[in-house]
């Protein structure tokens, strides 16, 4: 079972062969690496659009905001290694990362809750450009049901099971108020959706085999506020609170 905030689990992958040649992915790819692969892909896609044929680990790492050693380790998990003195073939590495991330086929997305945030998400063209077409929209508000956003008609939440099955929805996005989130999640899971992106300020409980990713904008703002506060404390030379260490990096704040 995956619950918001739960421990990360490894993702399937393969094992390496010879440097500089195609290699089978490593047996398991750590969840943290998966997150960074998406960032590497963004940088690679931009390079591909600019016609860049090869890229060194240093340049790619800088574009992704990580150090080169971490990038090389991440790419080794998916069975990729650069050629000494040449670097990585951008086109080839892009295709490999897309394959590992499961982006070689289209994903149908259902979005539930088309209030201010949901409406913005539904109208964002970047999802479709990356293979995540919004194919279904749902809401409970009679004033919204029947309206059309970015070419997709908003339907009543009662239609979630039938519509999601008919349209082959693979990813559900929950953008409802907190009290409605679990019921919506249950409806999506009941319709066969096994991947859910949760924008609602609520912890969702799901059965085994269902993955949930939580995006809490308020929490992210609070974290940023913490860093703003620490910088002000440092600038004034004030003390009184203990430094706080980032568990992921070991960097100490304060």
pLDDT at 82: 76
Q: Are 112 and 174 in contact (CB under 8 A)?
A: yes
Determine whether domain 107-215 maps to CATH 3.40.50.720: yes
Note the pTM of the prediction, 2 decimals. 0.67
What is the domain partition of the chain in residue ranges?
Answer: 11-100, 107-215, 218-253
> Which residues make Cβ contacts (< 8 Å) with residue 49, sequence separation at least 6?
none
**Residue closest to 61 by CA, chosen among 78, 45, 46, 43:** 43
pLDDT at 237: 63
Q: Give the separation between CA 127 and CA 11, rounded to whole angstroms.
A: 23
Q: Are 215 and 197 in contact (CB under 8 A)?
A: yes
Within 10 Å of residue 105's Cβ, how many Cβ atoms? 7
Strands 54-55 and 28-29: unpaired
**Residue closest to 130 by CA, chosen among 54, 213, 38, 52:** 38
pLDDT at 242: 52
Strands 169-174 and 152-156: unpaired
Q: How confident is the chain (254 residues) per 10-residue block, as mean pLDDT?
A: 40 37 56 90 93 94 94 90 85 92 86 94 82 92 95 96 95 96 97 96 94 90 90 67 47 38
pLDDT at 119: 93
pLDDT at 202: 93
Two structure tokens written together for 71: 């990038």
Q: Which long-range contacts (CB under 8 A, 24 or more apart) does 192-197 make?
A: 192/164, 192/165, 193/110, 193/164, 193/169, 194/170, 195/170, 195/171, 196/171, 196/172, 197/171, 197/172, 197/173
pLDDT at 130: 77
pLDDT at 35: 87
pLDDT at 165: 95
Output the CATH code of domain 11-100: 1.10.10.10
pLDDT at 26: 42
pLDDT at 253: 36
């Amino acid at each position: 079972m995956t619950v918001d905030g739960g421990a990360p689990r490894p993702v399937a992958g393969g094992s390496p062969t010879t440097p500089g040649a195609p290699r089978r992915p490593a047996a398991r790819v750590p969840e943290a690496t998966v997150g960074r692969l998406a960032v590497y892909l963004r940088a690679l896609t931009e390079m591909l659009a600019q016609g860049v044929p090869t890229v060194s680990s240093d340049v790619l790492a800088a574009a992704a905001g990580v150090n080169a050693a971490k990038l090389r380790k991440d790419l080794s998990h998916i069975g990729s290694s650069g050629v000494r003195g040449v670097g990585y073939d951008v086109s080839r590495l892009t295709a490999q990362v897309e394959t590992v991330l499961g982006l070689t086929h289209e994903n149908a997305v259902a979005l539930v809750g088309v209030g201010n945030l949901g409406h913005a998400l539904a109208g964002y063209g970047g999802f479709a450009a990356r293979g995540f077409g919004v194919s279904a929209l749902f809401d409970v508000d009679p004033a919204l049901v029947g309206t059309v956003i970015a070419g997709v008609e908003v339907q009543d939440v009662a239609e979630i099971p039938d519509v999601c099955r008919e349209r082959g929805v693979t990813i559900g996005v929950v953008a409802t108020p907190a009290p409605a989130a679990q019921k919506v999640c249950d409806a999506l899971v009941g319709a066969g959706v096994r991947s859910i992106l949760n924008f609602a300020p609520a912890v969702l409980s799901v059965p085994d085999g269902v993955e949930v990713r939580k995006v809490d904008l308020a929490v992210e703002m609070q974290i940023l506020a913490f860093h703003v506060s620490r910088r002000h404390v440092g600038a004034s030379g004030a003390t009184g609170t203990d430094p706080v260490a980032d568990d992921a990096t070991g960097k100490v704040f304060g």
